[in-house]
Structure formats: C-alpha cells, structure tokens
Amino acid sequence: DISLIPVYLTINGKEYRDRFDLSPDDFWKLYPDLQDYNTSAPPMAESLQVFERLSKKTSDIACAFVSKSLSATAEAALQARQIFQKDNPGVNIEIIDSRTAAGAQAFIVLEMARAARAGKNLSEVVATANEMIPKVKYITALEGLKRLIKIGRAPKTAYIGELFQVKPIIGHVNNTGIVENLGRGRGTEKTMLKIAEMMESYVNRGRPVNLTFHYTNSIEEGEKLKDLITSRFNVAECNLTPYSPVICLAIGPATSVAFYQSDDAD
C-alpha cells in the first residue's frame, strides 16, 4: 500500500513522468542522443490525485518525500494538502522531509509502511519516519559532476573533482538534507573500496546492516559493489535495483549504496 508521486523529466523536448512513462531501460536507449534535459517537481495535481484516491479508504495519510534541498516535491504536496483539506477536513495528511534520497528515502518509507501494516496510528507512523531519518545513510560514486552542476545540485566543494577528472563520491550521511562531498577516487575498483571503507565509519560490523545497492547503466558494477560490501558486513537485508530515470538524468553513470542499522539489532 505504498503510493508513488512521480517526478517529471524532460528529454529533448518531451516530458515524462519518472517510471510511469519511462523505464530505466528505455531511458538508457535515449541516453546516447541526450541533448536538452531537465527535471521538475510534480505538479500539485499529482499529489491531489493520490490524496483523493487514498482518502476513499483511509482518513490518515503519511508522505515522505525526497529532501527539500533537492526538489520542490514536498512543497507541491504541502500546497496540495492545503487545497485538499478545505473540502476534506476529516482527512489527516502528514508531509515529511526525508532529508535524503533514493534508497535511503526508500528505507524510511518501507519502515513507515511496515509500521502501518502492524496497526500503528498516524502519529506513530510519523514517529517511525523521524526515528529512521537520522539512521539512513547514502553514498554514491559518479563518473563526474557535470550533470549535477547543470541542475544546481552539486556540492560546491566537489567542483574541483570535475577539474581533475576523478570519480567524485557524494551522498547524505550527516542528516543535513543537502548533497555532501565525501571524497573522490581514481578508477572503479579503488573507488568501490573507498566506499566500503567509508561505511565502516557509520556501521558497527558486529551488528546486521540493511543495504540497498543502486546502479545506472551497468548492473555488473552494482553487483561488484554489492559483493564487496556484503563480504565485509553482517547483512540483514539486501536489495539491488536500477536507479529511476530522473536520478540517472541528474547524475549520469553511477554506483551507490544506501544503508542503516536497527537499534534492536544484536
């Protein structure tokens, strides 16, 4: 019972809804001819449609969105909530800034859904999200920063990496909501090893860790990072998934890991 509100992307003059109109495989077919492109938050109508549909079966809706520093998606949902609740005052809608993105955001949403399925009320589901937000971490290695610079999402301190043509490593690890410069690596193997070493600063190796690995145009690189990291840590949950088109458009070729440890892990 997780509903999605798609972010929009425009490629060579044609508009798509992320994953709804364009799959990851279809995106990479367009990639060689990529010229003009952009991303945009979904219009309020997208949120209103979801609120309307969900309100037919529940009076409590919890929404966790990508970090406000990366997208106006949450702001559009806040505006949609204000309009929707004028005619539906009995429907409670909570809008949550996840302060992260991709698999880290997904972990928050999954725990919210599990809490709801376990019978938790709206305030308890929101509390679950707020407990998860500081736990989840997200690290990604890019081929370059050109695309993030174009859309204004690159960390300023990472620009130098573009000049030296190394692989910038960025992410969300300090609960700031902004894209953080975490370092850089040279070559795929050394960069993956550096990501694994970075994780040791945030993971207790004696406790199980939940992992999600993302890849863009190379599932083989995603599998390599997965094999490297799962061999080092005690794994509770592991997912391997392609990035959605809108993230591929924003960052270009990349390999990433999102992770967290539960408080009750042994």
To which residue do tokens 């995106």 refer? 27
Grade residue 94 by pLDDT with cuts at 50, 70 and 90: very high
Q: According to the model, what pLDDT value does residue 266 have?
A: 41
Structure tokens at 165: 């043509």
Q: How far apart are CA 56 and CA 34, in angstroms?
A: 41
Q: According to the model, what pLDDT value does residue 147 have?
A: 57
Residue 196: pLDDT above 80? yes
What's the mean pLDDT in 260-266? 70
Q: According to the model, what pLDDT value does residue 7 have?
A: 94
Q: According to the model, what pLDDT value does residue 120 have?
A: 98
Structure tokens at 206: 């004696």
Grade residue 177 by pLDDT with cuts at 50, 70 and 90: very high
Q: Do residues 24 and 39 make contact, with C-beta atoms less than 8 angstroms apart?
A: no
Q: According to the model, what pLDDT value does residue 11 have?
A: 94
Task: List the beta bridge partners of residue 214.
Answer: 241, 256
The pTM (predicted TM-score) of the whole model is 0.90
Instruction: Provide the 3-class DSSP secondary structure of residue 7.
Output: coil
Q: Do residues 78 and 95 make contact, with C-beta atoms less than 8 angstroms apart?
A: yes
Q: Do residues 224 and 206 make contact, with C-beta atoms less than 8 angstroms apart?
A: no
Q: According to the model, what pLDDT value does residue 184 have?
A: 87
Residue 205: pLDDT above 90? no
Task: Give the length of the chain.
Answer: 266
Contacts of 19 (CB under 8 A, 6+ apart): 4, 6, 244, 245
- pLDDT per position as a tens digit, 163-173: 455 788 999 99
- pLDDT per position as a tens digit, 208-255: 999 999 999 999 999 999 999 999 999 999 999 999 999 998 888 899
Share of the chain above pLDDT 90, in %: 78
Residue 24: pLDDT above 90? yes
How many CB atoms are located within 10 Å of the residue 252 CB? 18
Residue 126: pLDDT above 70? yes
- pLDDT per position as a tens digit, 41-82: 999 999 999 999 999 999 999 999 999 999 999 999 999 999
Q: According to the model, what pLDDT value does residue 167 have?
A: 84
Q: How far apart are CA 123 and CA 110, in angstroms?
A: 16
- pLDDT per position as a tens digit, 133-156: 999 999 999 886 665 555 555 555
Grade residue 265 by pLDDT with cuts at 50, 70 and 90: very low
